[in-house]
Amino acid sequence: MNGIEPVRVDCPYCGEPFTTTVDCSAGDQDYVEDCPVCCRPIDFSVAIDAAGRIASLRVRRDDE
């Protein structure tokens, strides 16, 4: 496994679904990625389990 996992999320602003990737080899992480539809910043919070896979993924608005 290369540590990259595709994930499907819904934009917390416009509600449109899109697919992005998470680099699980980086461990737990918090980062901002712009929605490819409405271009607003989305806060991602990712927890990685002991096996190197996504344990939880939270997306929220930048203004929450």
- Give residue 62's pLDDT band: very low, low, confident or very high (50, 70, 90): confident
CB atoms near residue 11 (< 10 Å): 19
In this prediction the pTM is 0.88
Task: Please state, in angstroms and as integers, the Cα–Cα distance from residue 35 to each residue in 10, 14, 15, 20, following that order.
Answer: 9, 9, 10, 10
pLDDT in tens, 5-39: 999 999 999 999 999 999 999 999 999 999 999 99
Q: Hey, what amino acid is at 37? A: V
Q: Most distant CA pair in the chain: distance in Å?
A: 35
Task: Give the CA count within 13 Å in the CB-facing half-sphere of 12.
Answer: 14
Structural contact between residues 57 and 7, judged by C-beta atoms closer than 8 angstroms: yes
